[in-house]
Amino acid sequence: MNSIQDIWEEILRSLSSRLTPTAINTWFADSVPVSLEDYRLVIRTPSEFKKKIISDRFSASIKAVLSDLFSCDFELLILVGDEEYEPDEKDDPDDFPEMAGYTFDNFIVGNSNKFAHAAAIAVAENPGKNYNPLFIYGNSGLGKTHLLWAIGHSIREHFPEKKISYIKGDDFTNELIKAIKEGKTEDFRNKHRHADLLLFDDIQFIAGKQSTQEEFFHTFNYIYEAGHQIVITSDRPPMEMSLLDDRLRTRFEGGLMADIAPPDLETRMAIARNKAARLGLLLPDSVIEYIATAVKSNVRQLEGVIKRLTAYQDILNDTITKEAVDRAIVDITVINDIPTPELIIRETANYYNLSPEDLKGVSRSREKTLGRQIAMYLMRQLTNLSLNDIGKELGRNHTTALSSIRRIEELMASDQAITIVIRDITSNITSSTG
């Protein structure tokens, strides 16, 4: 049972346990389902009168059936005659299109994230008061950005006068570089300093970048001293950010730290069910459990699998079989997880404030050589490329690739710092693939 027609029939079947066949026939025989998505069922009836009866007498029961089927609340919209259905623009305000859908309502709370969730709610209710900054950290794909935006949503709703500023770690760096080039640093500063709420996503990207950290330090102080709220996310806690400026580390640790861990099976099942409901896809519990058992460490992938299944169903008109689920899981978790050589080279170069061309070029300066060797080592670790191909990506041959990889392995055995660098770069690569 998957299509909207099936779900509608299931609803009528359920209602028929409470209503006589005549009642069902009278009120529903000429009603048809129109759309089921974003937690909303839309149906069409021929007359205003029927709409009123259905809405007054049956909408609660219909919603109850939907809630049984999907484990979440639905809205019922009834159209009359040939009235057009226009899905809402939803709440994605023009200035923050990324924000759509990331609300507290859509966030499933479990043991792994309940502290971060409670902290985010506290901040949204009392911005700038108790927990400043709020620092949310955890691996990629576990809901950090979701909570960040949920705070944004809530503040926009309850404190519409407050000015919200959102920035991602790598954009902050790039915008700053651009502003310096164009002589517009003053504009850049004003853009963020006057925020009542600063949402800073993926701060790990500024670690090690001296001028960016310096600039952020001043932005931070400016906002903080004005009593305004700052929320930061990162893929690791401040004390594990080896290249973070100590002044920033102290500031961050002066606020509230909240970590998010991978969700347990029960939470993963609830999330899978919720994401499916949002797409109007009803999956049997056995399928939900199967998916949630297979995809453990990353909610983004869990969601990816559900989206794939919806696509298979829409495009191929497939019913959801175990094979379809397996295929979706392979598509999402295996293929999407392998970073491209370009990404590895870019993130390695970024880490040392170099450009990809620096790594591909001939210079043998210490830093460029090390960066080049690390990029080759990471390609060996994270992709299936042959030594030959790895060498080619950096304009080298396979002998050089092999000796570079060995060199890094030796360094890692003797030098703890290199191990941390490798972990940091790997983490930047995986948070970019999401």
Q: How far is the CB of 348 from Mg ion (least distance, A)?
A: 21
What is the rounded CA–CA span in Å between residue 43 and residue 8? 9
Q: Beta partners for 44?
A: 32, 79
Helix or strand (DSSP H, E) at 317:
none
Give contact residues for Mg ion (rule: CB under 5 A). 144-145
**Binds 434, which of ligand ADP, Mg ion, none (CB < 5 to 8 A, cut-off by type)?**
ligand ADP
Q: Is 300 in the site for ligand ADP (CB under 6 A)?
A: yes
Cα–Cα distance measured from residue 293 to residue 77, given in angstroms and rounded to the nearest whole number: 35
Those residues whose C-beta lies under 8 Å from the C-beta of residue 107, and which sit 6 or more positions away, are 113, 117, 143, 146, 147, 150
In the complex with ligand ADP, the residue whose CB is nearer, 196 or 235, is 235
Task: Report, in Å, the least distance between residue 299 CB and ligand ADP.
Answer: 3
Closest residue to Mg ion using C-beta atoms: 145
If the CB atoms of residues 31 and 233 are measured against ligand ADP, the closer one turns out to be 233
Stretch that binds ligand ADP, among 69-77, 287-295, 299-307, 308-316 (CB under 6 A): 299-307
- Which sign does the torsion angle of CA 351, 354, 357, 363 carry? negative
Tell whether residue 70 is a contact of ligand ADP (CB under 6 A). Answer: no
271 binds ligand ADP (CB under 6 A): yes
Q: Which partner in ligand ADP, Mg ion, none is near 300 (CB below 5 to 8 A by kind)?
A: ligand ADP
**In the complex, minimum distance from the CB of residue 171 to Mg ion, in angstroms, rounded to a whole number:** 13
What single letter denotes the amino acid at residue 380?
Answer: R
From the list Mg ion, ligand ADP, none, partner contacted by residue 234 (C-beta under 5 to 8 A by kind): none
In the window 111-150, what residues touch ligand ADP (CB under 6 A)? 113, 138, 140-146
What the block records as the tokens of 213 is 């950290």
Token pair in block for residue 255: 């606020």
Closest distance of CB 136 from Mg ion, Å: 10
Strand partners, 166: 199
From the list Mg ion, ligand ADP, none, pick the one residue 231 interacts with, judged by a Cβ distance below 5 to 8 Å according to partner type: none
CB of 201 to Mg ion, least distance (A): 6
Q: Alpha-carbon distance 283 to 304, whole Å?
A: 15
Question: Is residue 107 involved in binding ligand ADP (CB under 6 A)?
Answer: yes
With binding defined as CB under 6 A, does residue 170 bind ligand ADP? no
Rounded to whole angstroms, how far apart are CA atoms 7 and 258? 40
Instruction: Give per-residue burial for 141-175: e unless 16+ CB within 10 Å, then b.
Output: bbbbbbbbbbbbbbbbeeeeebebbbbbbbebbeb
The first and second tokens of residue 242, run together, are 């080896």
Query: Interface residues with ligand ADP (CB under 6 A)?
Result: 102, 106-108, 113, 138, 140-146, 271, 299-300, 303, 434
